[in-house]
Amino acid sequence: MGTAVETRQRTVGSKVYAERVNPQWVRLLELLEMNVRYERCVRAELFTANGRRIVDFLSGYCVHNVGHNHPHVVAALEQELARRGPAMIQSHVADLAGELADRLWVWRAFRG
């Protein structure tokens, strides 16, 4: 359970999400008492504003590979964003995509 401020923020955020996105998801998380607002997330740990630490055994979408906000991933994203290069332009050959493909190809060949 959180502070009054946490509860209000969660309630307002959940209300908008329920109205515009998926009301059933909000109801389910509320029922399971899992609708928590996190202040920060680092690797496999989630931290609430009231100091509660939760080990994340549930997340997906590659969180299990590197964790939340892994410092190397954050640094790479910051570096790429600082470049101010093109993003998703169809009339452009994405050099970084080619570099990634090359690394994956070499890794695949190495792994057999």
pLDDT tens figures, 10-34:
567 789 999 999 999 999 999 998 8
Strand-pair category, 53-55 with 45-48 = antiparallel
* Number of folded domains that form the chain: 1
> Is residue 44's pLDDT more than 90?
no
**Is residue 60 a part of any domain in this protein?**
yes
**Is residue 106 a part of any domain in this protein?**
no
**Is residue 101 a part of any domain in this protein?**
no
Domain span holding position 45:
4-86
Confidence of residue 2 (pLDDT cuts 50, 70, 90): low
**Is residue 96 a part of any domain in this protein?**
no
**Is residue 55 a part of any domain in this protein?**
yes
**Is residue 52 a part of any domain in this protein?**
yes
Q: How many residues does the chain have?
A: 112
**Is residue 108 a part of any domain in this protein?**
no
**Are the C-beta atoms of 61 and 34 separated by less than 8 Å?**
no
Q: Which residue has the higher pLDDT, 80 or 6?
A: 80
Taking the C-alpha atoms of residue 84 and residue 73, their distance in angstroms, rounded to an integer, is 17
Single-letter residue type at 73: V
- Its pTM stands at 0.54
